[in-house]
Structure 1
Amino acid sequence: MTETPEKIAGVEVGERRITIPGFTEEGENLAAETNIAADHTHGGLGESKEITSGAGSRANRHTGFNLAEFPDPTGREEEWRFTPLKKLAGVLSDTPTEGAGTDREPVDYQVSGTVEGVVVSTLRHGESPRGDVLQPADRAAVVGYKNVDEALHIKVTQNTEVAEPIRVDITGKAAGARANGHIVIESEPNSKAVVVLEHRGSADFNGNVEVKAADGASVSVISLQRWENDAVHVGQHDAEVGRDATYKHVAVTLGGHTVRLNTNFRYAAEGARAEMYGLYFADAGQHIEHRTFVDHNTPRNSSDVLYKGALQGETARSVWVGDVLIRKEAEGTDSYEKNQNLVLTDGARADSVPNLEIETGLIEGAGHASSTGRFDDNHLFYLMSRGIPEDIARQLVVRGFMNEIVQKIEVPSIRESLADDLERELRISGH
């Protein structure tokens, strides 16, 4: 478990403390009511007295499609320092998908819920919009892109509103079987759709997803990781959000031995709103890692990021690294990110690293927060004083903690199934 978070400007924060211009050593805000957390830089606000993070600006992080520029990671790199690399050896290897083009493919795709106005096809390398949005930021993303001949393409045509979710069921057929995947979701102007990506079964899976939300579009992507306990999953999900468009990405990770997802978005024009939400539950021996990046690269857009996780059991491990970059040209930005972790048993560990870079002072607001802790004893006492047994009271507290994310999911059947999943997770350790 991480140490008790410090407070800066009244906000609980994770790993390290830095000094920010305009703040006293006690964390009193001398300039404006802005939430500040650890491990970040603030460009455009003057020179900081002390910067303890060695990550460097996210604006300078290398992206590209040339695998030679992404050597095998050693674990010393900023983007890999929390990750158990030995467990990812299969998905980081530059070899073709096992059984590609045969009936022995280790992962099966099934698309359902399409209606008139939704076109499902495939895209080969060089066929737009494949590669228009995705900006591979690590070796895994490049390997996945390079080794998929045909990407699944789901296009929602202009002015089409899809009432029911479009579902893509991704099922692994064998533990340790290596598979790469690529999905392109294109939402044309003024269209509206919810796309559900559900991962089940067993495989070593490397999956990229890119989403293009055109002007006025409304797109939600719900990625469910319900793998078996022996599965490995890495992936990068990138989105570009157009003028006056809205985009929501929800990541729910309950299954899998090792799961590492990078979820990112940027903007094509002003007036857009984008949101990222995440829910995860790590059990003994399980590693769940989520990394988010919001690139405010155009003016007058807003973003909201909220990830919540619970951990139980010896060696249960979760990682959340959240990056927000507000570029010099992104005047009028309104952005906030937060991560909260609930540790249920001894031996579990949650790492939480919020990073915020601001290159202009002409913004509506920017803040972030991070906290990791155990049950609130006051909540337990309140429930138990009303005759609720301790084990039931603990379940109620955890469900209440997670419910904020569950309610962000527009699909009632998924909300109901998640309630059942969380009930089973809590029973594993007797909570």
Structure 2
Amino acid sequence: MTSQTTTPTASHYSSAHVDPAAQVADAGFVPVQTRSERPHSFEPADFGAPTGREVNWKHTPVAKLAGLLADEPGDADAVSYDLEQAEALLEPAAEGVETYGEFFRPEDLPSALAWKHGPRGLHIQVPAEAELGEPVVVPIRGAGADKRAFAQILIEALPHSRATIVLEHSGSAQYAQNVEIIVRDGAQLSVISLQRWDDDAVHAAAHQATVGADATLKHFVISFGGGVVRVNPSVELTGAGSEGYLYGLSYADAGQHLESQVYLHHKGPHTKGDVLYKGALQGESAHSVWIGDVLIGPDATGTDSYEANRNLVLTEGARADSIPNLEIETGDIVGAGHASATGRFDDEQLFYLQARGITEEEARRLVVLGFLSDIVQRLGIPALETELLDAIEAELAAVSA
């Protein structure tokens, strides 16, 4: 990959619709109507500090992200990366060549600041034709809630390769992260972003991916820990016959805010997409946010796409916000749809189990495990699946204690 990144010109901004409070320079104050029309810029100054009234910030506790909204360098020791397992895949940058930014374009202030202040160098490149039998795990550990960090990560699967990359977050920090994902023609890549932060961590991430012809990306956002976790994946199915599967799992406890704004853009013909996010919430002021946007472009003939979000509220005082959106610009598609549901336990399921001698507490545990394990089992990593199911069991034990 040898593309040169340039600072965007005014043409990078939408002239039709602009988010009123994003205050992007020279853009005016007309509300954004669709995700595709949000302005993009590499320059933090082109974005005003969010107020919480903007369409992309109105469900987020903006005040808690204050440390990631200041145009100042982060702390060098805020976050550490264990690259031992990924070392063989790290691609050194050629002198004078910018390997980042072939596809990535920041669409909010934390992302633009991460682009400006985040060091470049973590470029994981899966060789062409290679098939990695084991997942590559990159542990990312924060040094403390008073530490600020900006990061840029580039994951590239070269043609006809197969691999799974796991970004495993733990510890605590104020962490703004850009993840650029490039899936070349014929490649099959899974990227798992696992958030198991301490309760005082703040994590704002932008994942942007492009998928080539006959290539497949499976993208997972798994969030259990953290005070505020905002991971927003954006995937463009660029090549003919490309496929994108976007899955998410969250378990919000008292005081936690777990958020994902998902964007799937069908751009090439005969593409296939599936979006499924599931969440459980328990405890006072536990809050989850899911906003799903699917755009089927004018050239995306033969598209087959579906998105859904399901939330299970386990206790009083918890709230789930769920907003699906679908935009279709061609009539020649196989199918498209979206769905959203938030509710408490299914009384019929509980009755069925209790009628067979199972206690109410055990019945509730089985219902929640069955609800969430659907996502866990799609990971395809037995050890991680077991670890996550154990984590769900621990969360359920805490609410019933």
- Using structure 2 for the length normalisation, give the TM-score: 0.90
Q: 1:325 — aligned with what?
A: 295
The Cα of 1:239 is off from its aligned counterpart by: 0.7
Maintained 8 Å contact 1:189/1:215: yes
Corresponding residue of 1:109 = 81
Q: Which has the higher contact order (CA 8 A, sep 6+)?
A: 1
**Is contact 1:124–1:149 with CA below 8 Å preserved after alignment?**
no
Aligned to 2:230: 260
Question: How much does 1:267 deviate?
Answer: 2.5
Match of residue 39, structure 2, among 62, 74, 77: 62
CA distance in 1, matches of 2:332, 2:288: 35
Quote the residue 2:251 is aligned against.
281
**Amino acid of the structure 1 residue aligned with 2:41:** G
Percent sequence identity over matched residues?
Answer: 49
2:386 pairs with 416, 421, 426, which one? 416
Matched, 1:400 2:376: no
Instruction: Tell me the equivalent position of 2:202.
Output: 232
**Match of residue 220 from structure 1:** 190
- Residue-by-residue CA offset, 1:236-259 (whole Å, 9 max, x unaligned): 011110100010001100000000
SS at match of 2:82: strand
Using the alignment, how far apart are the partners of 2:144 and 2:96 within structure 1?
A: 31
Deviations 1:317-365 (A, max 9, x none): 0000000011112111111000000000011000000011111111111
Partner of 2:25: none
Q: How many residues align?
A: 371
RMSD of aligned Cα (Å): 1.5
Q: Which amino acid aligns with 1:410?
A: G
Aligned mates of 2:142, 2:158 — CA distance in 1: 31
Label 1:125 to 1:184 Cα distance change in 2 as closer, same or farther (>3 A). Answer: farther
Superimposed CA distance per residue, residues 119-144 of structure 1 (whole angstroms, 9 cap, x where no aligned partner): 31455997443111212111111111
Pair 1:88-2:65 in alignment: yes
**Separation of aligned partners in 2, 1:249 and 1:421:** 20
Render the CA deviation track for 1:13-59: whole Å, top value 9, x for unaligned: xxxxxxxxxxxxxxxxxxxxxxxxxxxxxxxxxxxxxxxxx650222
The one-letter code matched in structure 2 to 1:338 is: A
Give per-residue Cα distances to partners, 1:261-295, cap 9 Å, x unaligned: 11011023111111100000001111011110001
- The residue that corresponds to 2:106 in the other structure is 136
Give the letter for the 1:343 counterpart.
V
In the alignment, which residue of structure 1 is the partner of 2:4? none
2:176 alignment counterpart: 206
Task: Name the CA distance, whole Å, in 2 between partners of 1:290 and 1:127.
Answer: 33
**If the length of structure 1 is used for normalisation, what is the TM-score?**
0.84
SS at match of 1:90: helix
SS at match of 1:150: coil
2:211 is matched by which residue type in structure 1? V
Kept after mapping to 1: 8 A contact 2:119/2:152? no
2:153 is aligned to: 183
Q: CA deviation at 1:94?
A: 1.3
In 1, are the aligned partners of 2:241 and 2:268 still within 8 Å (CA)?
no
User: 5+ unaligned residues in a row in structure 1: which ranges?
Assistant: 1-53
Decide which moves more: 365-374 or 263-272. 263-272
Q: What are structure 2's unaligned runs of at least 5 residues?
A: 1-30
Partner of 1:148: 118
What is the alpha-carbon distance in structure 2 between the residues aligned to residue 318 and residue 138 of structure 1? 20
Query: Residue 166 of structure 1: CA displacement?
Result: 0.8
Give the aligned partner of residue 263 of structure 2.
Answer: 293
Select between 403-412 and 56-65 the one with higher mean Cα deviation.
Answer: 56-65
1:73 to 50, 62, 67: 50
SS of equivalent residue, structure 2 residue 400: coil
CA distance change for structure 1 residues 198 and 210 in 2, over 3 Å: closer, same or farther? same
- 1:306 counterpart residue number: 276
Question: CA separation of 1:82/1:122 partners in 2, compared to 1, >3 Å: closer, same or farther?
Answer: farther
Distance in 1 between residues matched to 2:201 and 2:35, nearest whole Å: 30
- Show structure 1 runs of 4+ deviating over 4 A: 122-126
Q: Give the secondary structure class of the aligned counterpart of 1:315.
A: coil
Cα shift readout 1:53-87 (whole Å, capped 9, x = no counterpart): x6502222111212121110111110001000000
Confirm or deny: 8 A CA contact 2:86 2:138 kept in the other structure: no
SS in 1 for 2:284: coil
